[in-house]
A and B are shown apart, each in its own frame.
Chain A
Amino acid sequence: MNGSLECRDLTKSFGGLPILRGVSLCLEPGTVTVLAGENGAGKSTLMKIISGQLRPDTGEVLFGGEPLAPGDVHAARGAGVGIVPQELAPIPDLSIYENLFVGREKRTRTGLLDRRGMIRAAREMLTVFGIDLDPRTPMRRLSVGMTQLVEIVKNTSWGARVVLLDEPTSAISDREVERLFTLVDQLRERGVAIVYTTHKMAEIQAVADRVVVLRDGRLVADEPLAALSEHDIVQHMIGRELSELFPERPEPGTEVALRVGGVRRDGAPPVDLEVRAGEIVGLAGLIGAGRTELLETLFGVRARTGGEIEVGGRRLRPNRVTEAIASGMALVPEDRKGAGLVLSMDVLDNGSLPHLGAFSVAGWLRSKARAEAVGSWGRTLGLRSRGLSQEVQTLSGGNQQKVVLGRWLSGDVKVLLLDEPTRGVDIGARSEIYRAIIRLAESGLAVLMASSDMAEVIGLSHRLLVMRGGGVVAELDRRAMDAPDVQERIFRHAAGLHVA
């Protein structure tokens, strides 16, 4: 009767697509197990099965040797499994203590809410974790990082013995990451078994006792942290040498396709930059450095308060998306589902949305021309769908991204703005998207690409701009990018540390 949790040979597929292909794993108390893997490797699915939100196709989850009822959240919770999902679900208009006690409110003898008792208990719970907040503060007023800490407290304070943290740093700042690590340490000391999913190397080094790597639904490595080098981990995650992932970059042209002069938006310094035809310029920086905002300002989605933007020599008036598109600019947004796709529509409609004018005569759709154009770039990008009438929400992340990228290919695009082009995309589709980007550059497009993935932004760009506080703080040319300490240098610029 030890307090360990064991997974035996778990498999799970969605719509015939295998996500987990036989994963066995044992979690020991007082250990932080980092579950590493690319997006789409099956990390979240595994977490959901352990926490009872999903029922495995085969295999079982055991706690202290006893099998848990599959797909039963209450059974998992009863056994002491708590999960803090990637997408937090606080109730913003309730206070911290109300959130902490939601669903298990304290009551007085008369059956009314015991607010005073809950506030007192909440304060204790927060202090245990070194969080100095008034429990009566509305949840809405907390930063994302603080919200996350409160969610962790909420999911562990009832005596959880296994805590699952799903990509806990995906949306929080560096200082908040520190607090998170402290909290993880405290949980470890109390003998809690912790699973921590991430694909970021720095985090793995900081918190892991043991590293488990998932790739394409299989467990490919399970070692103590000390036994694995950073290079090993990356290799396990992507399953091949990094250099193979990125194709050879073609020589850029000489003609300037995008000229940005002193472009300003609220609360950010002016930005100057140029991208030549056939050139891929990377935008690196920490979360919140203003990369997305810059791209949106260039495209006219976000208000520009000053400065000039020229595309192919044509000057754009501020805040007019239609004009940006007409002049040959295209944006592939970061938030694929929120800003890129109309999920309720099919591949054909999504794929032709920006160029409806080209596929119609006096407002009448030319269905054949439309289907031919979409089908043509679909083949180029290796789009896998059950046909053009498949709703995009049933496509995988990689194929969705191909739709958002590909739909610009049928038009006359000169400047392509890419925002996190491979976020949530599995490794196979990633290399296809990289090849597509290179091919686009080869055909003379100017590409400006923001990415948080260091390997990607270094491996794909001709030139790199580092952003901090909304402005460009450093520029690295190809030679600087080939230097072995380039990641370190980028990080120092991005974090505002002095560069030696």
Chain B
Amino acid sequence: MNVAAPSTTGKNSPAQPPERRGPALGRAGEAVREWAIRNPMVLVMALVILYFLYMSDRFGTVGNLQTIAIAAAPFALIALGQTLVILTGGIDLSVGSVIAASAMTAALVVKDHPERMWLAVLAAVLVGVVVGGISGFAVSRLGVPPFVATLGMMTVASGLAYVLGNGAPINGLPADYSTIANTKVLGIDLPVVIMIVGFIVMIVLMSRTTYGLRVYAVGGNPLASRIAGLNVNRTLFSVYVISGGLAGLSGVILSSRVISAFPSLGSGYELDAIAAVVIGGASLMGGRGTVWGTILGLFLIQTLNNGLDLLIVPSYWQKVIKGVLIIAAVALDVWVVRRRSR
């Protein structure tokens, strides 16, 4: 609301561009500054990295970067799915439980039959797709609010995970299964490769395809989307299916890494995924947010986890610090957006 000079007086010199270029900064400097102001989370990330680099010798090593990437992979998949759901104005609370249910399913399939490895992977993803499909059906066709629908499916999937193992973990999975998480492709761990492929696919999907545009449109204004001829229900349904499927895949990676499946696997992961999306600047009202933002949010959380571990901060305190940082980060983002729109 702070208009320095009344613009009516500018009428005398119509062709004059706004006189803003500071002599010291120059065009490029100005652009960098502008960009940093527009992307405060990048700045926060940079500060966090600098802090850990300063505090810990081990933080900047290649080995540690790998550790961060490997830890991030299962979260990355569910955060990507969550991004789609949140863009439509929904939320998917079930992904943590889906990880457990799909891991248990895969473990049952593969336990005494190493040759069924691919079948196990398929079954796990299928479990996720079905759970997501039910949530999607409830949201798009029955009009159940996403929070409620996925809260319900979270409980269902968690219950099924316990049923599948009679409440006990399934240990001693075949070595073949464990190779999924422990193979290297071109020197990079397979989960990290899957994560990077996921990033690329999702970035392209959301910026270059009609599907991505539809997700943004439906989240931004469902009624207007309908009048423009989009199939709103189908789009809504699809994001939950994708989210569920990715959670299933995440369950495979996690159970393969520890060579066992247990019903509490992935518990609480949905919250980290939601946090990553929100830190990335997405609006819980739908229609606003980017895959890039989610990636940034994801790595901010993962870097914090890793860095605080290296500094031997007790895990209980880590939670406190993480929670405060999430709120602070989003408050900063909101503040910047507000300032910009004034």
Binding site for B on A (CB under 8 A): 11, 13, 16-18, 21, 54-55, 57-58, 71, 299, 301, 321-322, 324-325, 331, 333, 338-345, 349, 353-354, 356-357, 359-360, 363-365, 407
Contacts and interface: CB of A to CB of B under 8 A. Distances in A.
A353 B208 contact: no
Nearest to B286: A344
B8 interface: yes
29 contacts: A11-B6, A11-B8, A13-B7, A57-B6, A322-B231, A324-B229, A339-B221, A339-B223, A339-B224, A339-B227, A340-B227, A342-B216, A342-B217, A344-B216, A344-B221, A344-B287, A345-B216, A345-B217, A349-B213, A353-B213, A353-B224, A353-B225, A354-B228, A356-B213, A356-B214, A357-B210, A360-B210, A364-B208, A407-B228
B326 to A, nearest CB: 23
Given A333-B227, A340-B224, A363-B209, A349 B6 contact: no
> Which interface residue of B7, B227, B230, B231 has the most chain A CB atoms within 10 A?
B227
Contacts of A365: 208-210, 213
Nearest to B283: A344
Contacts of A343: 220-221
A360 B10 CA distance: 44
Contacts, number: 91
Contacts of A357: 210
Contacts of A321: 226-227, 229
B212 to A, nearest CB: 8
Nearest to B10: A16
A365 to B, nearest CB: 6
B211 interface: yes
A343 B288 CA distance: 10
B28 interface: no
B1 interface: yes
Contacts of A363: 209-211
Interface residues of B, number: 28
Contacts of B223: 338-339
Contacts of B7: 13, 16-18
A53 to B, nearest CB: 11
B252 to A, nearest CB: 27
A473 to B, nearest CB: 27
A424 to B, nearest CB: 16
Given A13-B8, A349-B216, A331 B221 contact: no
Given A71-B1, A345-B217, A356 B210 contact: yes
B150 to A, nearest CB: 23
Interface of A is mostly: mixed
Contacts of B210: 356-357, 359-360, 363-365
> Which interface residue of A356, A364, A407 has the most chain B CB atoms within 10 A?
A356
A243 B214 CA distance: 43
Contacts of A331: 227
Contacts of B225: 342, 353
B338 to A, nearest CB: 15
Contact of A353 (B217, B231, B287): B217
Given A339-B227, A342-B224, A354-B228, A18 B8 contact: yes
B312 interface: no
Given A11-B6, A71-B1, A363-B210, A325 B224 contact: no
Given A344-B216, A360-B210, A365-B210, A353 B228 contact: yes
Contacts of A54: 1
Given A321-B227, A344-B221, A363-B210, 8 more contacts: A11-B8, A324-B229, A339-B224, A342-B224, A349-B213, A353-B225, A365-B208, A365-B213
B209 A58 contact: no
B237 to A, nearest CB: 16
A57 B3 CA distance: 7
Given A322-B229, A322-B231, A365-B208, A344 B213 contact: no
A284 B117 CA distance: 69
User: Top 7 closest A-B pairs, CB basis?
Assistant: A342-B220, A325-B229, A344-B287, A353-B228, A344-B220, A354-B228, A342-B221
Contacts of A338: 221, 223-224
A76 to B, nearest CB: 16
A433 to B, nearest CB: 18
> Which interface residue of B6, B210, B211 has the most chain A CB atoms within 10 A?
B210
A301 B209 contact: no
B301 to A, nearest CB: 25
B227 A341 contact: no
Interface string B1-36: 101001110100000000000000000000000000
B226 A345 contact: no
A69 to B, nearest CB: 14
B1 A13 contact: no
Nearest to A394: B341
Contact of A341 (B3, B8, B221, B230): B221
Interface string B191-230: 0000000000000000011110110110011011111111
Contacts of B217: 342, 345, 349, 353
Nearest to B6: A57
A283 to B, nearest CB: 18
Contacts of B287: 342, 344-345
Given A325-B229, A354-B229, A363-B209, A58 B224 contact: no
A335 B165 CA distance: 54
A428 B203 CA distance: 41
Nearest to A320: B229
Contacts of B213: 349, 353, 356, 365
Contact of B1 (A55, A324, A360): A55
Contacts of A353: 213, 217, 224-225, 228, 230
Contacts of A356: 210, 213-214, 230
Contacts of B231: 322
Contacts of B227: 299, 301, 321, 331, 333, 339-340
Contacts of A342: 216-217, 220-221, 224-225, 287
A21 B220 CA distance: 35
B17 to A, nearest CB: 13
A58 B6 contact: yes
Contacts of B8: 11, 13, 18, 21
A18 B5 CA distance: 12
Interface in B110-134: none
Nearest to A21: B8
A61 B221 CA distance: 39
A360 B209 contact: yes
